[in-house]
Structure 1
Amino acid sequence: MSDRYPPPGAPSLRAPGGKNPVQRLYRRLFLMNGLVFTVGTLVLAFSPATVSSPVLLTELPVLIVGLAVLLAVNALVLRTSLAPLSALTTLMQRVDLLGMDDRLVDNGNGDLHQVIETFNAMLDRLESERSTASAHALAAQENERRRIARELHDEIGQSLTVVLLGLKRAVDRAPGDLAEELRAVQETVRASLDEVRQVARRLRPGVLEDLGLQSALSALSSDFSQVIGVPVTRKVDPALPKLSAETELVVYRIAQEGLTNVARHARADAVELSLTEEDDHLTLRITDNGRGGARNDGAGIRGMRERALLIGAKLTVDSPPGGGTEVRLAIPCTAKPCGGEEER
């Protein structure tokens, strides 16, 4: 099928009766102008009013009134019919497919009703297609992370372990001075092995798969505090509703990215991570007391927004200058993410 044609089920710009909005507007203007000219002609034909050549001063008011009526009718019709175009232009300039609430409100204008419906349907379709594409991309990303984590653990980790065992045997048989140097190398290799294991854990949250979301968030906070040196206050409701595996992964990754942003940009000395149920929503918050002032969405925040869309959640970032930053993920518990059917 050619790309020039809309997909099946897409709304058509053709209005009921076979006429599109432009044709309807054209017909209305034609009828209005024709009506005004007809009335003017009838007035000149059947009333005492006349127009001489050259035009007399006493006839000017008749012509001026007729012209004023014609212009007023045209202005009224055009203003009423084309008013939604200004709102449409503004929305097209600011629309963001990561924001799910941007839609044009139809105020009942007959001429552009189909245009408004079609534009909103186009946004719905693009949002759905982007969400689907993001889901495939993020799934591929998670698979690649698992593969890299597995290779780090099974290949590089095992190789470093063999090196450590070899160094231990060498240290036991080496003379004093050489033994000290070998012990230093041994500690360097052991530190490298620990770093490899930490990277593997960040790439593949095995604790999430084995012990669940609460334990995974606890381990994530502890790792953050140990590496960055900033204490994390955790508040996780122990009676959370059951979540699907996809939702748990999204919550974990957003918490992970939120803490990473704190480490990179916030200059904070205290962080709070909470996961609670509030008003039929499961709410994740990552709050810091840093410098705030985040104005534009970077790659990290946009990535979090894309993940939120996958489960129908809404992500907001509040970052006043000097007032710290709060990242808030609200997951509606009436939707599929809460109360998932999957058994752990």
Structure 2
Amino acid sequence: MWGPVPAGAGMLSAAFVDQSASGERGHFYPEQVRQLYSFLPVGLIATAVNSAIVLAVLWPVLRHPSLVIWFGALLALTSVRILVLRRYNGTDEHRKKQRYWGRLLIGGNVLSGALWGLLPIFLFPAESMPHQVFQAFVIGGMVAGSVGIYSTLRLAFAAYALPAFVPVTVRFCTFSDGLHLAMAALCSIFMVLMFMSSFRNHAAHRAVLELNVENQSLIRRLSEKSTKAEQIAEELRNLTAYLHDVREEESKRIASEIHDQLGQSLTAAKMTVARLRKSPENLPAGLREGLESLSELLGTVLGDVRRISRHLRPLVLDEFGLEAAVEWLVTDFRETTGVICDLQSGISTGSLGSDISVTLFRILQEALTNVARHAEARHVRIILIEREGEVQLRVEDDGRGIPADYLRPHTFGVLNMKERALRLRGEVLISPAEPTGTIVSVRIPTNAR
């Protein structure tokens, strides 16, 4: 008569997420009503089909107009309940008054159960034991099926089962023979078992609801913490970006002051020493040697000052763009370290913003510094290209590779490169090269700002 009905059918609505798991009836009632209405179509179909079967089986025995009236009343009630179900499903979730809809469903259960209960009272085939058993079997099957449908709310199950099955049990008790009394006893035992099964199903439903509430509460808390973590991460990224900007501006200012002031002062001092060296030739030999040493020292210091100034903020980056700055950086690296460098560059002049240019220059500067410190490489290949809306930088060396400690996320060098790229919606990937060495790959959208 009935197929098994999944106890967990029906999804928790979004409105139920905010409800408490305190165990009070009111906290679960709305969801219990939703689940009842989600199961209701199965019960309505079973009612229509089984009532038609009962009419067909009992008609040859009874042939009473009341049987047709009973069948029509049950179909009419089923039709009304279908309309109620459609109205419920068509109502906006936030406007549903679940207690009102719950009362409608329980009332429908009472009427439906009562109509099934009328069958053994007024339409009982007293002369045919097989038809009596059939009638009890059908009603018992309806009650058994209702365990899976209405146990979510115990009152809904009782409202259907009691008026449906008590009359057939009482009807068997009206007979004095042992067979009918045994049937009544079996019906009583069956009813007790159905209620016990209903209580177990209700407990299982309740446990699922409580677990869902706890899960949804946990998800909500995790979501809130995740949102807070994302906000903190965003704030940290903004702070990092601000610090990078401040550092670049400060480096630019210091480089300018070193170049314009200290560099000029050292140049003037070197020129003064040069003039003193051209003084009358009767200068003491020790003084002339001191002036020569001082001139050489001033030249060395002046070269160091210019090199420091260029590394702080190369003027070529501001004046001629990224490609020229990269060529200068690679040339300086080659001359300083003696490492063979191949540069392949292909970007549109002026197509990149200042932020992208500075970011790529600093990442390349950090990568080459790491090669000099850690790689012991003999050859470095640098590729800077613009492709498919991205500017891509690749630095590959043939050294012994970067130590594992350096690749840890908290390492400043790696973190610095990744944070610089991330603020422009880019990424930095560090991977081993074959057969030896390290590859640093950078991708940044050309429209990043």
Normalised-by-shorter TM-score class: 0.5 to 0.7
Residue 5 of structure 1 corresponds to which residue in structure 2? Answer: none
The alignment's TM-score, normalised by the length of structure 2, stands at 0.53
CA drift at 1:283 = 0.7
Pairing partner for 1:152 from 235, 238, 258:
258
Residue 129 of structure 2 corresponds to which residue in structure 1? Answer: none
User: What amino acid sits opposite 2:324 in the alignment?
Assistant: S
User: Could you say if the C-alpha distance between residues 152 and 116 of structure 1 is closer, same or farther in structure 2, counting changes exceeding 3 Å?
Assistant: same
User: Could you say if the C-alpha distance between residues 322 and 296 of structure 1 is closer, same or farther in structure 2, counting changes exceeding 3 Å?
Assistant: farther
Q: Deviations over 1:180-200 (max 9, x none)?
A: 343233222211111111111
Residue 166 of structure 1 corresponds to which residue in structure 2? Answer: 272
Residue 131 of structure 1 corresponds to which residue in structure 2? Answer: 237
User: Could you say if the C-alpha distance between residues 68 and 187 of structure 1 is closer, same or farther in structure 2, counting changes exceeding 3 Å?
Assistant: farther
Distance 1:323 1:77 in 2: 58
Q: Which protein is richer in helix relative to its size? A: 2
Residue 244 of structure 1 corresponds to which residue in structure 2? Answer: 353
Distance 1:232 1:67 in 2: 80
User: What amino acid sits opposite 2:205 in the alignment?
Assistant: V
Distance 1:60 1:16 in 2: 36
CA drift at 1:336 = 4.1
Distance 1:238 1:81 in 2: 56
1:243-322 aligned at under 5 Å gives the runs 243-290=352-399, 291-292=401-402, 293=404, 294-297=406-409, 298-319=411-432
User: What amino acid sits opposite 1:296 in the alignment?
Assistant: R
Do 2:152 and 2:201's aligned partners in 1 also have CA atoms closer than 8 Å?
no
User: What amino acid sits opposite 1:48 in the alignment?
Assistant: S
Secondary structure of the 1:131 match is helix
Q: Deviations over 1:236-280 (max 9, x none)?
A: 115467111222111112211221222222222222221112333
CA drift at 1:30 = 9.0
Deviates more, 1:259-268 or 1:174-183: 174-183
1:35 aligns with 2:152: yes
Deviates more, 1:136-145 or 1:121-130: 121-130
Residue 188 of structure 2 corresponds to which residue in structure 1? Answer: 48
Residue 332 of structure 1 corresponds to which residue in structure 2? Answer: 445
Give the share of equivalent positions with the same residue, in percent: 25
The alignment's TM-score, normalised by the length of structure 1, stands at 0.67
1:224 aligns with 2:356: no
Do 2:19 and 2:213's aligned partners in 1 also have CA atoms closer than 8 Å?
no
Deviates more, 1:224-233 or 1:19-28: 19-28
Larger radius of gyration: 2
Do 1:29 and 1:77's aligned partners in 2 also have CA atoms closer than 8 Å?
no
Residue 201 of structure 1 corresponds to which residue in structure 2? Answer: 310
Distance 1:267 1:259 in 2: 11
Let me know the Cα RMSD of the aligned residues.
Answer: 4.0
Do 1:25 and 1:81's aligned partners in 2 also have CA atoms closer than 8 Å?
no
Secondary structure of the 1:283 match is strand
Q: Deviations over 1:44-69 (max 9, x none)?
A: 97672499xxxxxxx99986x66764
Do 1:287 and 1:327's aligned partners in 2 also have CA atoms closer than 8 Å?
yes
Secondary structure of the 2:429 match is strand
CA drift at 1:295 = 2.8
Distance 1:193 1:80 in 2: 73
User: Could you say if the C-alpha distance between residues 257 and 216 of structure 1 is closer, same or farther in structure 2, counting changes exceeding 3 Å?
Assistant: same
Do 2:377 and 2:397's aligned partners in 1 also have CA atoms closer than 8 Å?
yes
User: What amino acid sits opposite 1:73 in the alignment?
Assistant: H
Distance 2:217 2:408 in 1: 28
Distance 2:334 2:29 in 1: 70
User: Could you say if the C-alpha distance between residues 259 and 81 of structure 1 is closer, same or farther in structure 2, counting changes exceeding 3 Å?
Assistant: farther
Secondary structure of the 1:35 match is coil
Residue 235 of structure 1 corresponds to which residue in structure 2? Answer: 344
Secondary structure of the 2:381 match is strand
| Matched length | 287
Consecutive unaligned residues of structure 2, counting only runs of 5 or more, are 1-12, 34-150, 167-186
User: Could you say if the C-alpha distance between residues 171 and 240 of structure 1 is closer, same or farther in structure 2, counting changes exceeding 3 Å?
Assistant: closer
Secondary structure of the 2:407 match is coil
Distance 2:337 2:29 in 1: 69
1:190 aligns with 2:303: no
Do 1:164 and 1:186's aligned partners in 2 also have CA atoms closer than 8 Å?
yes
User: Could you say if the C-alpha distance between residues 43 and 119 of structure 1 is closer, same or farther in structure 2, counting changes exceeding 3 Å?
Assistant: same
Consecutive unaligned residues of structure 1, counting only runs of 5 or more, are 1-14, 52-58, 87-111, 338-344
User: Could you say if the C-alpha distance between residues 244 and 217 of structure 1 is closer, same or farther in structure 2, counting changes exceeding 3 Å?
Assistant: same
User: Could you say if the C-alpha distance between residues 241 and 192 of structure 1 is closer, same or farther in structure 2, counting changes exceeding 3 Å?
Assistant: closer
Distance 1:215 1:145 in 2: 19
CA drift at 1:207 = 0.2
